Amino acid sequence: MLGKTLSGRYYIVKHLGRGGFGQTYLAEDRQLPGNPLCVVKQLKPQATDPLTLQVSQRLFDREAQVLYKLGKHDQIPQLLAHFEQEQEFYLVQEFIEGHELKQELPVGKHLSENQVMTLCGDILKILEFVHQQEVIHRDIKPSNLIRRKQDGKIVLIDFGAVKQVSAQKTNSERNTTLTVAIGSPGYMANEQLGGKPRFCSDIYAVGMIGIQAITGIPPSQLPEDPTTSEMIWRDKVQVSQPFADVLDKMVRYDHRQRYQTATEALQALQWVNSQMSTGAYHVPPTQTLTPPAATTQPIVTSTLLPQTDPSQPQTIQDAVAELSTSSVDTPISNAGVATPRNKPHWLIGIGVGLATAFALTAGIYYFPKQNNSSPLLQISNSPSPSLQKLNNSWDRVENIALANTFIGNSKNVYSVAISPDGQTLASGGDDNTIKLWNLGTRQQLQTLKGHSDWVYSIAFSPDGQKIASSSGDGTIKVWNLHSGQLLQTLKSGPEDRVFSIAISPDGQTLASGSKDKTIKLWNLGTGQLKNTLKGHSGFILSVAIAQNGQTLVSGSDDKTIKVWNLSTGTLISTVSEPSDNGVPAVAISPDGRILATSNISDKIYLWNLQELLKGCKGAQPCSPTRTIFAHKDYVNSVAFSPDGQTLASGSRDNTIKLWNPQTGELKSPISNHSGAVNSVTFSPDGKTLVSNGEEGKIEVWQSSP
């Protein structure tokens, strides 16, 4: 086959492997510019009589249609072509550059509990999408999971559905049958071994990968209980009982005792994470951990992301098509009436370059002015009494209603902000303007023009007299809020992009994060550059300033979060993003205790900011206190309510979710009617939440007691 050209375009350059279904080759597509690489799978029927070929052709076409649908998921290779040539069948799929997960799981290596929980969650999210297409993979194992070099995400390859085609054979009665026991020893459930795979058979395989990752022992080397046939592994490693119970339930010998869907398993993982983080749950030795039915909330489903080129994240004009699913949570209708949604609703959206996806997060972090004489590490013990009960109604989905919808910028709104008096709403987007609205009357007040590129971030000064905006044109502009007069133009650098800005509580300092990998501190009054903070090796995607006026936090696409002393510019600590992703959004709780960060996947991490301010010194580096499996797509924005009791997150999956930042538990999900959510912000009184959508729409949500 080497050197052969198939279908007049696919030139075979390398033999990759052999399986029960046939051969796999690396090929060049000679009909596309640059001759990109692809994978060609050759499928050979076991017989060549007309009946077998006819049946094989029909099944081959059916399975190709399934693979085409599956390939719409960013973490499943795309099917590029399928054809028959010389009575052999060929599939051409996207080539995934990366390494097999088995390289990360050598014998004897133990991953941490948090790493294993994240790994299992990532695989289950892909499986949720696969199972929605009525497909059982049947061969999930480390060698069929690729860690993609481009973005570090897990990609699921080699679908068992295709093997059904290659496994066709004709018996003596000329009836077509299927061979059985497709799968790999150690990862194959008992019912699958008997030729009757179920959706929970895939969950069994994920559980075995989790046990392998946490014990460092391959499944084939783990003993079984001779009486129950259950795996014996807990004595091989120290692991918390709640997480061990989840893994055990995933790999039960009797399929009826397992989680029946990927969603159930994901719910269990999130619940364990939240309960173990708070220490609120203690499992008796004989009890099997199962999330309470009355309190379990639906969590993330499949992540559907466009592939982007991280080497050119500034190419924001290069839009690509993508598919995204709406939330499976209970959405909020325009009338505030909760209506269930059981089936995925497919939408065609627009994906943009990586920098755009990052820049969509440009959130607004406004904190009321206060006395800044307190020491750097001084943190209040509780929220202000006047704020303690502001947002209780966000806890109940039935109390949340869509109050208003504004038609803002021409297409996409990337940032929204509310003035300190709660009267003015500002929006910035891809028409290069900032629009100001009366939040109560919905009247558009004025449009601020002057930027020559998209407006990524907006911030009000604490006294409500000024508004600042940052843009892809490399400038920050400061305007008089009432007259609309341009007061200052701060130039970050030639061909730079300023993705995020924040203003200090005393109104003296504006911090900006940009493409040039630096954070710049400006005198808001004079426009003078006060300091340049260096240390990140990638674009600065998000910045936030704590209410004490002394702490600055930054997130970057270099996959780190940095904590700085705002006054001196000193770097206090650096922590890595746990999922090895860029950090598009950061937010600090009003009391300064909690740092919330998002990633370009689907998670939110909560950190103890006090520990970060100590420099993460000691034997162990700082780690998140909680991991929230938050959304199905990029988490573009996070924001705390003024009382600190609610954390809002907005995602490209068209949802807003409200969380308890102390426990990480989901309070209320909101289905954003206008599309992907790039920015969320609370009003100063905590009773209003504003989000952006697509087609220039801005949605105003209100809660009632």
3-class secondary structure per residue, 159-192: CHHHHHHHCEEECCCCCEEECCCCCCCCCCCHHH
In this structure, are residues 399 and 434 in contact, taking their beta carbons and an 8 Å threshold? no
pLDDT above 90 covers a percentage of the chain that reads: 48
Q: Check pLDDT > 70 for residue 472.
A: yes
- Sheet strands side by side (includes 475-480): 455-460, 466-471, 475-480, 486-491
Which of 111-125, 379-393, 602-616 shows the lowest mean pLDDT across its residues?
Answer: 379-393
Q: What letter would DSSP give residue 579?
A: T
Amino acid at 611: E
Question: What are the distances in angstroms from CA 429 to CA 239, 377, 417, 470?
Answer: 47, 37, 12, 11
Contact 431, 450 (CB under 8 A): no
Average pLDDT value for residue range 386-406: 69
Cα three-residue angle 623-624-625, rounded to 5 degrees? 115
Confidence at residue 392, expressed as pLDDT on a 0 to 100 scale: 53
Residue 131 DSSP label? H
Among residues 455, 447, 396, which one has the least CA distance to residue 428?
455
User: CA 69 → CA 72, 77, 126, 573, 632, distances in Å?
Assistant: 6, 11, 13, 44, 18
The DSSP letter of residue 506 is T
Q: What is the pLDDT of residue 455?
A: 93
Instruction: Identify the band that residue 286 occupies on the pLDDT scale cut at 50, 70 and 90.
Output: very low
Instruction: Tell me if 79 sits within 8 A of 67, measured CB to CB.
Output: yes
Residue 210: strand, helix, or coil: helix
Q: Which two tokens stand for residue 25?
A: 């080759």
659, 702 Cβ separation under 8 angstroms: no
> Virtual CA dihedral for 349, 354, 360, 361, nearest 10 degrees?
130
The residue to which tokens 């014996």 are assigned? 232
Match 């390939």 to its residue by tokens: 71
| 296 pLDDT above the threshold of 70 | no
Confidence band, pLDDT 50/70/90 cuts, at residue 705: low
Say how far apart CA 427 and CA 436 lie, in whole Å.
Answer: 7
Taking the whole predicted model, whether its pTM rises above 0.75 is answered as: no
Lowest mean pLDDT across 484-498, 596-610, 649-663: 484-498
Residue predicted with more confidence, 181 or 344: 181
The size of the chain, in residues, is: 705
pLDDT of residue 379: 28
Q: 202 by DSSP, 3-state: which?
A: helix
Residue type, 136: I
CB atoms within 10 A of CB 320: 11
How far apart are alpha carbons 120 and 235 in whole angstroms?
21
What is the rounded distance in angstroms from the CA atom of residue 313 to the CA atom of residue 672? 27
Residue corresponding to tokens 């795996």: 231
- What number of helices (H) and strands (E) belong to the chain? 9, 41
Q: Alpha-carbon dihedral of residues 38, 42, 43, 48, nearest 10 degrees?
A: 150
DSSP letters spanning 83-99: EEETTEEEEEEE---EE
The one-letter amino acid at 100: E
Helix (H, G, I), strand (E, B) or coil at 211: helix
pLDDT confidence bin for 617, thresholds 50/70/90: low
**Residue 288 — very low, low, confident or very high, per pLDDT cuts 50/70/90?**
very low
What are 181-225's pLDDT values in tens digits?
456 788 999 888 888 889 999 999 999 999 999 999 999 899 998
Please give the Cα distance from 30 to 188 (Å, whole number).
Answer: 39
AA identity, residue 158 = D
Question: Span 485-493, mean pLDDT?
Answer: 89
> What is the average pLDDT value for the chain, to the nearest integer?
78
Is residue 656 scored above 50 in pLDDT?
yes
Contact between 511 and 521 under an 8 Å Cβ cutoff? The reply is yes
Instruction: Show Cβ contacts of residue 278 under 8 Å, excluding neighbours closer than 6 positions.
Output: 626, 662, 663, 664
Residue 243 class from Cβ within 10 Å (0-12 exposed, 13-18 middle, 19+ buried)? buried
pLDDT at 291: 41
Identify the H or E element spanning 588: strand 586-588
State the pLDDT at residue 174: 34
Which of helix, strand or coil describes residue 699? Answer: strand
Residues designated catalytic = 139
